[in-house]
A and B are shown apart, each in its own frame.
Chain A
Amino acid sequence: MVPTVDRLPVARPRRRRQLSRRFHQAGPGTYIFLIVVAAASAFPLYWSFVVASHDNSAVSEYPPVLTPGGQLWHNIGRLFNSGEVNVDFWAALTNSLIVATTVSFAVVMFSALAGFAFAKLEFRGSRMLLLAVVATMLVPVQLGVIPLYIEMKDFGWTNSLQAVIAPFLVSAFGVFLMRQYIVGAVPNELIDASRVDGCHTLRIFWHVVLPAVRPIAAVLGLLTFMTTWNDFFWPLIVLSPQNPTVQVAVSSLASGYVEDFALVLTGTFISILPLLFVFVVLGRQIIGGIMQGAVKG
């Protein structure tokens, strides 16, 4: 149900390989190509910052301004002033933070719990049930938005945050990722030893499994947080502009009667900023997670 995360295929922890001789030395052409690609990747984000730091009139200047201006704080002030814009941007940021944190935490915990059961506990039908989990990844649940909306209406949840939290609390990909990781990361001897000591399974989970899965839990949590923070289609349907997530709020900034690009891109820039920060700090782990997820076991 979490698009980006679900896009990743089978995962298994993998030993890092030494660079071997087939990795030929990169020439100057390689670097030029990569620098162009990197610049193309970064430019639109830089551009949103440039527009956000200018007055709206700068947008129509000729030739266009390519360097940041001094209006960023002014624009941010306008963004958070509910008299000036049609959305409560503070509420939107808070809502998104609540939703993304809750969902990530739940996905990690439920995935670890189920992954532990599938990896280390013996029970009837475990193979079939694991297969069922994997099979659910192939079901395009997004196409069920209309009945899901009817369901939310029956629950009385439309326009409230439960509607964008509850459907995403579990992830098939998360369960599978955890299962694959726990098989290799938690030694059976450790679990047997705790059993002999009289630990019940929940205690084993808490004291043995959870500490061992910390690295993969961080990756899963981060990816889930990003996907949830960025989700748009479902929140657009089920939430109102009065109680939006940040993506819904930014999109309604763009629907004002006057095109105020400076304001729209200030909102856009602010909405990217938290993820950008996380990415700069933990980019290496995120890349590792995606690449680890890509290699079939």
Chain B
Amino acid sequence: MSQGTAVEAVAIPPQQRRLRMRLRRLDGKVSPYLYISPFFLLFAVFGLFPLAYTGWVSLTDRNLLDPTTHFVGLDNYTALLHDSYFWNAVENTLGIFVISTVPQLFLALVLAHVLNTKLHGRTLFRMAVLLPQITSLVAVALIFTQLFSRDYGLINYVLDHVGIGKVDWEAGDYTSWIALSVMVIWRWTGYNALIYLAAMQAIPDELYEAAAIDGARPWRQFWHVTIPNLRPTIIFTVIVSTIGGLQLFTEPYLFEPDHYGATGGSARQYQTVVMYLYEKSFGSSQFKLGYASAIGWALFMLIAVISLVNFLIIRRIRSAD
């Protein structure tokens, strides 16, 4: 910092001083807006405008292959309501979401509880648990697709060995859902466990001391002190998982052997909503941007509704005890 400035200020002529004063006042008034403007400008251009524009495009028959665009009102939405592929995608998305999120968050809670003890190699275990999180979705999808492959996959080898026999994971409805859920669970459990762990460590000691005086054993302490105090965090993770889970794309997209069409298997057994959006827009060169935008808005509504339902359910549990 310039310590000399104050001294200089005394020495310089009055007009210049007044100019400086004015500059400083201007600095104080304008600078804050200048500093926050990059965020708002870029968000407006690349975030808000596209989102609003989706609404408009969804009311047109815009197609990249067709230079003319017509306003079609709600036609895309009515077509969507009668589109069995769309409802199939919704069903798949919700199914995969449920069987991946419920075990994942439960396991994360247990893991956090276990990590919240006096441990040797604490940092090492935490790092191991977080390792899947730094792995890209593409890598997760490709590695697990290999592990789940019908003929040479390691998982089928083990199943065959213990007498269950080989499973054609990709071809079946529920088997493909299970395989995809395993990928999601693998990648996100550790991350959620660390979030829970952080929240557990913020619970005041007095609550545990009081419970211990009342004679509560560790397991009862977990149910009656830890879980209730974790509820805001649980709500947060459930909502974040909802937003992420309902937008599942990369894993099912790469699970398909010939994945350019994004159809999610030969019988569309694991096509998700975002995959369907991709199929209609870029995937199979249909370029139906108007229709795909309608899918986007429908998904937005779906996410909002499911988040709200989840929120209400978890709040209900809280008021129950």
* Chain B associates with chain A: yes
Q: Is the CB of B119 within 8 A of A41?
A: no
- A229-B134 Cα distance, complex, nearest whole Å: 10
Q: In the complex, which of the residues A33, A116, A175 contacts B114, with contact meaning CB atoms closer than 8 Å?
A: A33
Tally of A-B Cβ pairs under 8 angstroms: 305
**Of B31, B33, B49, B249, which contacts A151 at CB under 8 A?**
B49
Q: How large is the interface on B (under 10, 10 to 19, 20 to 34, 35 or more residues)?
A: 35 or more
- 0/1 interface trace, chain B 124-140, chain A, CB 8 Å (1 if under): 01111111111111111
On whether the beta carbons of A290 and B130 are closer than 8 Å, the reply is yes
Interface membership of B28, Cβ < 8 A: yes
Interface residues of A in 273-297 (CB under 8 A from B): 275-276, 279, 283-284, 286-287, 290-292, 294-296
Interface residues of B in 22-69 (CB under 8 A from A): 23-24, 27-29, 31-33, 35-36, 38-40, 42-43, 45-51, 53-54, 57
Contact of A44 with B128 at beta-carbon distance under 8 Å, contacts A1-B47, A142-B247, A198-B9 already known: no
From 139 to 180 in chain A, residues with beta carbon under 8 angstroms from any chain B beta carbon are: 139-151, 166-167, 169-170, 172, 175
Contacts of B205 in A (CB 8 A): 20-22
Instruction: Determine if A38 and B125 form an interchain contact, defined as CB atoms under 8 angstroms apart.
Output: yes
0/1 interface trace, chain B 113-125, chain A, CB 8 Å (1 if under): 0111111100101
Q: Does B198 contact A (CB under 8 A)?
A: yes
- Name B57's contact: one of A3, A44, A146, A268 (CB within 8 Å): A146
Evaluate contact between B35 and A48: CB separation under 8 angstroms: no
A112 to B166 CA separation, bound complex (whole angstroms) = 54
Known: A290-B195, A294-B198. Contact between A114 and B38, CB under 8 A? yes
- Whether A48 touches B198, Cβ cut-off 8 Å, given contacts A144-B50, A146-B57, is no
With a CB–CB cut-off of 8 A, which chain B residues contact A19? 118
Q: Which of B262-288 contact A (CB under 8 A)?
A: 274, 277-278, 281-282
Alpha-carbon separation in the docked complex, A84 to B279 (Å)? 29
- Expressed in whole angstroms, the Cα–Cα distance for A150 and B130 within the complex equals 37
Closest Cβ of chain B: how far from A75's Cβ, in Å? Answer: 14
Contact of B1 with A37 in the complex, beta carbons under 8 Å: no
Q: Which residues of B sit under 8 angstroms from A254, Cβ to Cβ?
A: 142, 145, 254, 259
Whole-angstrom distance between the Cβ of B133 and the nearest chain A Cβ: 7
Give the docked Cα–Cα distance between A140 and B142 (Å): 26
- Whether the Cβ atoms of B50 and A147 lie closer than 8 Å is yes
B317 within 8 A of A: no
The answer to whether A207 and B186 touch across the interface, beta carbons within 8 angstroms, is no
Q: In angstroms, how far is the closest chain B Cβ from the Cβ of A263?
A: 11
Report if B179 contacts A (CB, 8 A): no
| Other-chain contact of B198, A166, A167, A170, A292 (Cβ < 8 Å) | A292
Given A7-B240, A139-B48, do A123 and B143 touch, yes or no (CB 8 Å)? Answer: no
Q: Please provide the chain A residues from 19 to 58 with a CB less than 8 Å away from any CB of chain B in the complex.
A: 19-26, 30, 33-34, 37-38, 40-42, 44-45, 47-48, 51
B3 at the interface (CB under 8 A from A): yes
Considering the complex, give the chain B residue whose CB is closest to the CB of A267.
Answer: B142
When distances are taken between beta carbons in the complex, the residues of chain A under 8 Å from B139 are 48, 250, 268, 271-272
What is the distance, in angstroms, from B178's C-beta to the closest C-beta of chain A? 16
CA distance A201 to B117 in the complex (A): 46
User: Any chain A CB within 8 A of the CB of B260?
Assistant: yes
25 pairs, A vs B, C-beta closer than 8 Å: A24-B118, A41-B186, A44-B135, A45-B143, A47-B146, A48-B142, A51-B146, A62-B157, A64-B157, A110-B38, A118-B36, A141-B47, A144-B50, A145-B50, A148-B50, A199-B1, A200-B31, A201-B27, A201-B31, A208-B1, A237-B281, A268-B139, A271-B138, A271-B139, A291-B198
Known: A26-B120, A141-B47, A265-B143. 7 other contacts (CB 8 A): A22-B209, A111-B39, A117-B35, A230-B138, A265-B142, A268-B139, A295-B202
